[in-house]
A = this chain, B = another copy of it.
Amino acid sequence: MKLASLKHGRDGRLLVVSRDLRRVCIAEGVAPTLQAALDNWDECEPALRRLYQRLNRGEHQAAFAFNPVECAAPLPRAYQWADGSAYVSHIELVRKARGAEMPPSFWSDPLMYQGMSDGFLGPHDDIELADEAWGIDFEGEVAVITGDVPMGVNEHRTLDHVRLLMLVNDVSLRHLIPAELAKGFGFFQSKPATACSPVAVTPDELGRHWHNGRVHHRLRVTLNGVLFGEPHAGTDMTFGFDRLIAHASLSRCLGAGTIIGSGTVSNRDPNAGACCIAERRTRELLDTGEASTPFMRFGDTVRMEMCDAGGHSIFGAIEQRLTPYSGPDQ
């Protein structure tokens, strides 16, 4: 099943989207918003699936054309966004470039930060930021949306709580990160609003490509229409979502609608390219002694998409232009 949110008010209006991403219908009479559906999933899911089946068979009378530009993030605002960094070889590479050794514990103990969740950007929303000098970067990731997860959940049960999967662009301000992390309290100003793919899908949509808590497809990222990277999300993912969810729930329960991210998708194979500029710059630095690719500039457009074996887009694309923010009216 594929779900999306039409831009509408603060929380959007829940849409069911056909498998081929051509037709949509409003989830009328089931749940007004995706959060409402997640809050009451056992009751809503069967009804949404019935709508989905009718839509796929072309039987839904009130269906209309899918337009991702009119979509908000599946959850336009959420109660929790916990972002892992599960491709550990990416961390190792970045550390190597700055001459720092990575603690061996990073291979067994996941990195995760608490991100802002009060406003996600829609898939085609501009990234509006005030200053190019902040070192504006994208990060292509896979994320899951969970139901209610009990505190201390058994790792073997975590995947039962995965309701939906989607893509995210975890925008990062690279030049603000070092000073912020040096303060010891993690990311805050250096992690502005994150964007999401137009569509979130239930795990069964991925078939055998969802196993081991990993999505076994390539994530394709382009910058201004030029391929930037196409690493395989199922390769080199040290911690699957089973492990990330268990990590997140050690000392807390996770409320329905919690979003958990994989961190930048990254492969050891340099030919796969990168899902963030920082990784490419790191490879340049190690190869040539100089990081030559600049961070994003106003007017740049980043695009992220994941296709199935037949070349069909699974989640729809994130496609965002970086634009200057002129400040609040005040």
Measuring CB to CB, which residues of chain A are less than 8 angstroms from any residue of chain B? 10, 39, 77-80, 82, 85, 103, 106, 109, 111-119, 128-130, 134, 150-154, 157, 173, 176, 181-190, 192-193, 247-248, 250-258, 325, 327-330
For the complex, give the distance between the alpha carbons of A79 and B257 in Å.
11
**Which residues of chain B are within 8 angstroms of A328 by Cβ–Cβ distance?**
150-154
**Which residues of chain B are within 8 angstroms of A252 by Cβ–Cβ distance?**
116, 119, 192-193
For the complex, give the distance between the alpha carbons of A41 and B257 in Å.
25
CB nearest neighbor in B for A176: B251
Among B39, B182, B186, contact of A185 (Cβ-Cβ < 8 Å): B186
For the complex, give the distance between the alpha carbons of A128 and B152 in Å.
12
Given that A77-B255, A118-B80, A119-B255 are known contacts, is A113 also in contact with B173, CB under 8 Å in the complex?
Answer: no
**Which residues of chain B are within 8 angstroms of A187 by Cβ–Cβ distance?**
114, 185-186
**Which residues of chain B are within 8 angstroms of A39 by Cβ–Cβ distance?**
10
B189 contacts A85, CB within 8 Å? no
Copies in the complex: 2
Given that A79-B79, A118-B258 are known contacts, is A185 also in contact with B85, CB under 8 Å in the complex?
Answer: yes
For the complex, give the distance between the alpha carbons of A82 and B151 in Å.
22
Separation in Å of the A320 CB from the closest CB of chain B? 16
For the complex, give the distance between the alpha carbons of A157 and B153 in Å.
44
Separation in Å of the A126 CB from the closest CB of chain B? 13
B188 contacts A117, CB within 8 Å? no
**Which residues of chain B are within 8 angstroms of A151 by Cβ–Cβ distance?**
128, 130, 325, 328
B152 contacts A117, CB within 8 Å? no
For the complex, give the distance between the alpha carbons of A187 and B251 in Å.
12
For the complex, give the distance between the alpha carbons of A157 and B330 in Å.
8
For the complex, give the distance between the alpha carbons of A59 and B256 in Å.
40
**Which residues of chain B are within 8 angstroms of A117 by Cβ–Cβ distance?**
79-80, 117
A248 contacts B79, CB within 8 Å? no
Separation in Å of the A294 CB from the closest CB of chain B? 19
For the complex, give the distance between the alpha carbons of A79 and B115 in Å.
11
Separation in Å of the A134 CB from the closest CB of chain B? 7
Separation in Å of the A210 CB from the closest CB of chain B? 22
24 inter-chain pairs at a CB distance below 8 angstroms, sorted by A residue, are A78-B79, A79-B79, A79-B119, A80-B116, A82-B188, A111-B183, A113-B114, A113-B186, A114-B116, A114-B186, A118-B254, A118-B258, A151-B325, A152-B325, A152-B328, A154-B330, A173-B251, A181-B185, A185-B186, A186-B186, A188-B247, A189-B250, A190-B251, A192-B251
For the complex, give the distance between the alpha carbons of A296 and B117 in Å.
31
Separation in Å of the A31 CB from the closest CB of chain B? 14
